[in-house]
Amino acid sequence: MSDRFFASHPITAGRVVLDGPEAHHLLHVMRAKVGQRVTLFDGSGAEFDAEIVKCNRTDVELRIETRRDVDRELPFELVVGVSLPKGDRQKWLVEKLTELGVSELVPLETERGVAQPTDSALDRLSRSVVEAAKQCGRNRLMRIAKPQAWGEWAGAEIAESSTRRLIARPDGASLATQEVSRPLHSRLAIGPEGGLTDCEVDAAVAAGWQSVNLGRRILRVETAAVALAAVVALMHRP
């Protein structure tokens, strides 16, 4: 879906102007021309067929032709809390979680965490969400939350009492299919490369979290996050 572009402002009128990275992509990568048709989305859940009517130096003006609601989301909220890995592994993680339909990514601050995301790093990850959504066809963007301390995340009261809460742990219980067979709101937690401390795990278990393992091999942070999210998400493909 290389002809999909993200409008950073809600599309409410018959014309829209794309600027910033999306305009740059259209103008300098796609070599956009007047009369070319593309698909736009604005994060609202809708798609818009649009025609380019004017190419300026730094922006592109388009005429909206049709609007349609296209729902490619999971039938429940899927929130993943991760003690982020370093470097480019963060971008890979964001791309794959977006593709899987995760609703929100929460960077977790843990005792053994190796990467504390800055505002600029979070901005870059948000851009990766847009790129992944363009590729996979999502019309809503995965949210990237502000970093949260482990205690705040694990001990938070959940409005929906039936929310599934799972922590990936090498010494956790085997994950049975029936545990993820129902389309419940879900929260998943992945610790840092050095693992969560016993105190961190105990606090989460006391708050109602369940420890589960993902097999006999030790997985990297981003692999564990994608694997657990995939198990939950792909049971309930829309």
Report the mean per-residue pLDDT for the chain.
Answer: 91
Amino acid at 194: G
pTM, 2 dp: 0.91
C-alpha 45: how far from chain center: 15
The residues near 141 (Cβ < 8 Å, ≥ 6 apart) are 43, 98, 129, 130, 133
Segment 85-89 long-range contacts (CB within 8 Å, at least 24 positions apart): 85/114, 85/115, 85/193, 85/220, 85/221, 85/222, 86/114, 86/115, 89/220, 89/221, 89/222
What CATH number was assigned to the domain covering residues 78-236? 3.40.1280.10
pLDDT per residue rounded down to tens, the chain (238 residues)? 458 999 999 999 999 999 999 999 999 998 989 999 999 999 999 999 999 999 999 999 999 999 999 999 999 999 999 999 999 999 999 999 999 999 999 999 999 998 878 888 899 999 999 999 999 999 999 999 999 999 999 887 765 667 899 999 888 888 766 567 777 899 999 999 999 999 999 999 999 999 998 888 889 999 999 999 999 998 765 5
C-alpha 213: how far from chain center: 22
Query: What are the sequence ranges of the domains in the chain?
Result: 4-69, 78-236
Q: Which CATH entry fits the domain spanning 4-69: 2.40.240.20, 1.10.30.50, 3.40.50.300, 1.10.3720.10?
A: 2.40.240.20
pLDDT (tens digit per residue) in 163-207: 899 999 888 888 766 567 777 899 999 999 999 999 999 999 999
Instruction: Look at residue 167 in the predicted model and tell me its pLDDT.
Output: 94
Instruction: Look at residue 1 in the predicted model and tell me its pLDDT.
Output: 43
